[in-house]
């Protein structure tokens, strides 16, 4: 049985699979960006939990990251559509099927990246905060 952390991250990845883009988890950025865009989910850090006693519970605000990348002539509009799709996918199920208390993305900080001999990339890291609790920090 997966840990609460892994189950929550897997549910987030599954939620991102509904976005019309290629979605990966923990992979390296490929040399070619698909026309619809590319999302790479990074596990991030759970951070220091708040702890409650009786019963013992660890309350995390886990910061995962989504790398969002588009390429092409209309990359500004494509990037806007991609980030809006991520927001809609997260808003459709803020608890990831009951695995966490709340999921919320933070605003992206996009950058344009030149590519020699090809169209530029527009990319951003989108932090996603996962609020969940567990009775064991390793479980």
Domain count within the chain: 1
For the chain, the maximum distance between any two Cα atoms, rounded to a whole number of angstroms, is 61
- Residue 96 within a domain: yes
List, for residues 46-82, the tens digit of each pLDDT value. Answer: 999 999 998 999 999 999 999 999 998 899 999 999 9
Assigned token pair, 26: 């923990």
- Residue 48 within a domain: yes
Q: Which residues of 64-88 are buried (b: 16+ CB within 10 A; e: fewer)?
A: bbbbbbbbbeebeebbebbbebbee
Q: Is the pLDDT of residue 109 over 80?
A: yes
pLDDT at 106: 97
- Residue 60 within a domain: yes
CATH number at residue 107: 3.30.70
- Residue 139 within a domain: no
Q: Is the pLDDT of residue 139 over 80?
A: no
Q: Is the pLDDT of residue 13 over 90?
A: yes
Domain with 122 in it: 4-134
Reported confidence tier of residue 114, pLDDT bands at 50, 70, 90? confident
């Amino acid at each position: 049985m997966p840990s609460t952390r892994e189950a929550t991250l897997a549910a987030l990845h599954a939620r991102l699979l509904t976005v019309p883009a290629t979605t990966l988890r923990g992979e390296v950025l490929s040399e070619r960006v698909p026309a619809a865009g590319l999302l790479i989910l990074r596990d991030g850090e759970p951070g220091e939990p708040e702890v409650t006693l009786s019963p013992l519970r660890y309350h995390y605000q886990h910061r995962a990251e989504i790398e969002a990348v588009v390429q092409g002539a209309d990359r500004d509009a494509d990037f806007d559509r991609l980030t809006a799709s991520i927001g809609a996918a997260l808003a459709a199920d803020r608890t990831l099927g009951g695995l966490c208390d709340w999921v919320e993305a933070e605003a992206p900080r996009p950058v344009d990246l030149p590519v020699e001999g090809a169209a530029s990339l527009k990319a951003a890291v989108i932090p996603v905060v996962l609020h969940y609790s567990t009775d064991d920090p390793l479980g």
